[in-house]
Amino acid sequence: MIFISKELTPQELVNRLDKFIIGQSKAKKSVSVAIRNRYRRQKLDDNFKDEVIPKNILMIGPTGVGKTEIARRLAKLIKAPFVKIEATKFTEVGYVGRNVESMVKDLVSEAIRMVEEEKLVEVSEQAKRQAENRIVDLLVSENTNTKSNHKPDNPFEALLTQSNTQTSQEQLDEDKQENKKKQRRDIKSKLAQGLLEHEYVNVEIEEQSIPDGSNMGQEFEEMGINFQDLFGQFLPKKTKQKRVKVKDARKILGRQEAQKLIDNEQVTQEAVERAENYGIIFLDEFDKIAVSSGKQSGGQDVSREGVQRDILPIVEGSSVNTKYGRIKTDHIMFIGAGAFHDSKPSDLIPELQGRFPIRVKLESLTKQDFYRILTEPHNALLDQYKALLETEEVKVNFTEDAIEELASMAEQVNNETEDIGARRLHTLLEKLLEELSFYASDMRGQTVDINAKYVRERLEDIVEEKDVSRFIL
């Protein structure tokens, strides 16, 4: 099964990335080619296909320049399972922290979630119709119960009731069925008109007998056993009644009906195939597990090298036990990323270096890059802040010179303090608009023009004061 569209050529992938990420054309190009090779591999003969392994990528560059965003956006474009893992998680407890195989389990879980959501969308219309029918049944039942609980208020009504019981049972049944049909038609009509959205009905909600996050469940998962599947069939399903409005019942019942319509085995099969052939694992802070050359070896270095050796077989290709079965990692793509300020790629163990043949250096952002980030991308940063303040009926206009001043300050602070890339714009804008955001609710109907002078008045002193800017910006 081929998930990547043939229209998504490397050029098209780069063009789509350009809508969200400014600059870093080399990184975009390298990752796009690697993604396209996955499509090409699926077109090969089965005998040859298994021999073509993905070319893993090592992204080198300071934080905030777009490493994660490039990988995440590409994965979204091709509908590939994507997980971001911080390599330092594996060194947190003792010499080795979290089990490195957990990254593969996380990837498969994400693939299951993706495929299940797609299947739910496919059956959504049918599920919606079935949910509507269940709501009609619940409302009819509510009305029937209300009427059945009615007791005669006087002797004449009691005599009438007694007389009715002498009528033929067949006639009573026919009348009952006819009344029920009429009632259903009336309720269905009112539902379609949205007249019953705030009526209350009782719905059954299933409770989990075994918590997914239990220690016992995790231990079984380590052995590749699905604890829920193993014991769930022997334990009764617990349900509870919940009284909710019709508009909320529609969502609950719609989800329940959709779950009944999808084939869970097929979901698992497709998800495993997608994870194995298209999955992307993004290893952030990859430089933090490198052992810096020239430094005296210590406990921390032993831990880092141990993590590298644990990661190596996963990257090389192995089988990992999960609750969805054994997952082969041979064709999962790994993207390592880090600043590599205090270390370099050659400080990684040779075997791991060889598994990341594509090296891409991402450049620090310039004033021009910051200007474009503020103005060009879809849902650009300035547009976000404008939209937030417009909810208070306050209109904000940024002049050209104000945007240039912000871009210049972002570059200056990154050069003189820690380089945190595009995230610097968030800190500057939050400080710039802090007072305006505080009083916005009292400024309804006003328009605020932000120019270069406005920016300098609120930020210049902080930017120029090095000690202060380290704490505030």
DSSP 388-411: HHHTTT-EEEE-HHHHHHHHHHHH
Question: Which architecture, in CATH terms, is 367-460?
Answer: Orthogonal Bundle (1.10)
Residue 262 annotated as binding site: no
- pLDDT for the residue numbered 292: 72
3-state SS class at 248: helix
- pLDDT for the residue numbered 95: 46
Question: How far is residue 366's CA from residue 371's CA, in Å, rounded to a whole number?
Answer: 9
Residue 165 annotated as binding site: no
The residue to which tokens 């609120």 are assigned: 458
Measured between alpha carbons, how far is residue 243 from residues 165, 201, 203, 240 in Å?
A: 34, 6, 6, 10
Picking from 124, 129, 240, 132, the residue whose alpha carbon sits closest to that of residue 196 is 132
Question: How far is residue 132's CA from residue 257's CA, in Å, rounded to a whole number?
Answer: 10
Residue 100 annotated as binding site: no
CATH fold of 10-120+269-361 reads: Rossmann fold (3.40.50)
Residue 423 annotated as binding site: yes
Residue 299 C-alpha from the chain's centroid: 36
Residue 69 annotated as binding site: yes
Residue 351 annotated as binding site: yes
Q: Report pLDDT digits (tens) over 51-86.
A: 888 889 999 998 889 999 999 999 998 889 999 999
Where do the structural domains in the chain lie, given as residue ranges? 10-120+269-361, 124-261, 367-460
- pTM for the model stands at 0.79
290: left (phi over 0), alpha (psi -120 to 50) or beta: beta
Residue 391 annotated as binding site: no
- pLDDT for the residue numbered 154: 55
Per-run averaged pLDDT (10 residues), the chain, 473 residues: 72 91 90 90 85 90 90 91 90 58 94 94 92 87 62 50 56 71 83 86 72 49 52 63 88 90 93 93 92 60 82 92 92 93 89 92 92 89 94 95 94 89 92 93 93 92 75 74
Residue 217 annotated as binding site: no
Q: Report pLDDT digits (tens) over 380-409.
A: 899 999 999 999 999 999 999 999 999 999
Residue 332 annotated as binding site: no
Residue 284 annotated as binding site: yes
- pLDDT for the residue numbered 214: 47
